[in-house]
Amino acid sequence: MIEEKLKAARLRSAKRRMQIGIGLFVAICLGGLWVFALSFVDISPKKDKPLVEALPKEQQPAVDMEKLRGELKAALQQYEREIEPRLKVADVQSWPVSSEIDGLKQKVMENFGNGDYGLAMDNLGLLNSLALKVLKEADQIFLENLEKAKQFLADNLYDGAKFHIEKALKVNGQSPEALQVQVEIEKLVGLLPLLNGAAIARTENDLQKEYEYLQQVLKIAPERDGVKARLNEIRDRIQTQKFESHIASGFDNIANRQPQKARSHYEKARQIDSKRAELSLLLAQILDLEKSVRIKLAVSQAEQALRQDDWEQVKLNFERVSTDAPENRTVVEGLRRADHILSLQARLNQFLKAPYHLAHPQVLNEAQQTLAAAKAASGDSFTLKRTATQLSELITQVNRVIPVTIISDNQTYVLVRSVGKVGVLTQKIIQLKPGNYTFEGTRNGFKSKLLPLLIPYDQNQFSVRVICDESI
């Protein structure tokens, strides 16, 4: 902009100088003609005219020069305000052309001091052109060295990066971008050992170690996008390796029939990537193995319970896996046997709990049928066999007759309800099966007497006294 202004000012200056020269030439010519005319004209005081019109023509160059002086001064101030500070920033004082710039500036000042404003304007234009050319070269040097410093920085080459950033800063020491690059270059002092460690780990294919080195790098230089990208890549690869390792370990555990360990590896792999197809394959085999282990364990525990004659536990173990193995013959048959034995045991116990009902024909018939079934299954259960023996003995005891001695006063009439009359007696022995009976005594003038009695099945004899001795 200043160069254009200076160019325009120089053109105006040259135009004014030409106008002044033409004006002076015309003035000289007119002066000659005026002198020549005076020789023919009568010069008298009355005809004299004041030379008022010539003065503005003589003063016009002075006015133009003053204007030119102002323009020169403004252009010079603009140069000192805009161009010279940039020259100082670029540190061109050490350049060979610096003396030429200083020389032109000195000429401009001398021309200005001598009032030779046109020449001063020309020299200022040369000075401005030379300064802009130098600044352009400085900018080119700055940009080239800044770019090279960035390249060396990207390649983690400290010496080259430092060399070029210093050259760039020498011509533009106030550039925020260059100063930031310098900061990043200085970080290389601490980063290089970490970067070298990461590089060695990478050649050794030690992803975990490389990842740890690069994490430290990123703490020092978080602006390194390349390190971020590599970290993401390594993290993905590490996760993939961990996933594949867990899957492989899971299948190994299945081969070794270790469902819990296989399940643990499955869960860890699922946390890494829940969408991988390998998970479904591993889970299917884990479920099959867990089912197989459950069945095997249940059968083993059932067999142990069977040896202990604990059919409740036998049934519980087989029921636990009945849904897992609906077609497993061992489970199905074991569960059937357990149900049968427990059912027989329960029925036998019911009869044992109500022994006197066994005297009834219908109950006795059911008990005998149960005993027959229990006898057939007693080979599988000592408890069932023992219970069946107890019931068989109980049936015998309940259905035998026991001698019952009735004692009276030979005045009381005695009968056994639902059985028959005994009569008036002093003492009499009758035969009754064990069970509940009601003895009744009657006598004229005395209150009747009822004696409900249980004749135990486990006694060989029983006696009862029936006497009405309470008068009405």
Looking at the structure, tell me whether residues 119 and 37 fall in a common domain: yes
- The stretch 20-43 carries a mean pLDDT of 38
Q: Pick from 382, 398, 414: which residue ends a domain? A: 398
pLDDT at 471 over 80: yes
Average pLDDT of the chain to the nearest whole number: 83
Local confidence band at 61 (pLDDT 50, 70, 90 cut-offs):
low
Model pLDDT, residue 2: 46
The token duo for 183 is: 């900061």
Tens-digit pLDDT profile for residues 171-213: 888 889 999 889 888 887 778 888 888 889 888 888 888 888 8
Find the range with the poorest average confidence among 34-48, 354-368, 456-470: 34-48
Tens-digit pLDDT profile for residues 313-357: 999 999 988 888 888 899 999 999 999 999 999 999 999 999 999
Among candidates 415, 443, 414, which has minimal Cα distance to 426? Answer: 414
Structurally, how many domains does the chain consist of? Answer: 3
- Count of C-beta atoms within a 10 Å radius of residue 150: 19
pLDDT at 36 over 80: no
Q: Which domain holds residue 445?
A: 402-465
pLDDT at 21 over 80: no
Looking at the structure, tell me whether residues 37 and 133 fall in a common domain: yes
Length of the chain in terms of residues written: 472
Find the range with the poorest average confidence among 137-151, 381-395, 452-466: 137-151
Looking at the structure, tell me whether residues 393 and 410 fall in a common domain: no
Contact predicate 402/455, CB 8 Å: yes
3-state secondary structure of 352: helix
pLDDT at 102 over 80: no
Local confidence band at 8 (pLDDT 50, 70, 90 cut-offs):
low
Q: Which amino acid is at 316?
A: L
Looking at the structure, tell me whether residues 346 and 437 fall in a common domain: no
Model pLDDT, residue 4: 54
Looking at the structure, tell me whether residues 454 and 353 fall in a common domain: no
Among candidates 157, 230, 142, 147, which has minimal Cα distance to 192? Answer: 157
Looking at the structure, tell me whether residues 354 and 436 fall in a common domain: no
Model pLDDT, residue 44: 39
Find the range with the poorest average confidence among 208-212, 331-335, 369-373, 461-465: 208-212
Is residue 432 included in any domain, yes or no? Answer: yes
Strand order in the sheet with 427-432: 427-432, 402-407, 462-465
Looking at the structure, tell me whether residues 355 and 442 fall in a common domain: no
Local confidence band at 9 (pLDDT 50, 70, 90 cut-offs):
very low
Model pLDDT, residue 455: 94
pLDDT at 142 over 60: yes
- The stretch 380-397 carries a mean pLDDT of 94
The token duo for 131 is: 């300064």
pTM of the model: 0.51
Looking at the structure, tell me whether residues 352 and 458 fall in a common domain: no
Q: Tell me the C-alpha distance between 258 and 252, whole Å.
A: 9
Contact predicate 365/356, CB 8 Å: no
Is residue 452 included in any domain, yes or no? Answer: yes
Model pLDDT, residue 92: 67
Is residue 197 included in any domain, yes or no? Answer: no
Which one is predicted more confidently, 102 or 330?
Answer: 330
Among candidates 303, 388, 294, which has minimal Cα distance to 341? Answer: 388
Q: Where are the alpha helices (DSSP H) in 378-436?
A: 382-398
Share of the chain above pLDDT 90, in %: 47
pLDDT at 58 over 80: no
Tens-digit pLDDT profile for residues 227-251: 888 898 888 888 898 999 999 999 9
pLDDT at 31 over 90: no
- The stretch 290-314 carries a mean pLDDT of 92
Looking at the structure, tell me whether residues 113 and 34 fall in a common domain: yes
Looking at the structure, tell me whether residues 95 and 139 fall in a common domain: yes
Q: Tell me the C-alpha distance between 170 and 235, whole Å.
A: 42
- The stretch 291-311 carries a mean pLDDT of 92
Is residue 103 included in any domain, yes or no? Answer: yes
Looking at the structure, tell me whether residues 444 and 352 fall in a common domain: no
Looking at the structure, tell me whether residues 128 and 26 fall in a common domain: yes
Is residue 371 included in any domain, yes or no? Answer: yes
Q: Pick from 97, 122, 144: which residue ends a domain? A: 144
Is residue 34 included in any domain, yes or no? Answer: yes
Is residue 29 included in any domain, yes or no? Answer: yes
pLDDT at 39 over 60: no
Among candidates 242, 253, 282, which has minimal Cα distance to 266? Answer: 282
Local confidence band at 48 (pLDDT 50, 70, 90 cut-offs):
very low
Model pLDDT, residue 63: 54
Model pLDDT, residue 93: 67
How far is residue 440 from each of residues 401, 407, 437, measured CA to CA in Å?
20, 12, 10
- The stretch 417-428 carries a mean pLDDT of 95
Is residue 373 included in any domain, yes or no? Answer: yes
pLDDT at 311 over 70: yes
Q: Pick from 352, 376, 398: which residue ends a domain? A: 398
Helix/strand/coil (H/E/C) assignment for every residue in 23-46:
HHHHHHHHHHHHHHHHCCCCCCHH
Q: Which amino acid is at 163?
A: F
Contact predicate 351/370, CB 8 Å: yes
The token duo for 245 is: 């390792």
Q: Tell me the C-alpha distance between 137 and 143, whole Å.
A: 10
pLDDT at 399 over 70: yes
CA dihedral 40, 42, 45, 50 (to 10 degrees): -30
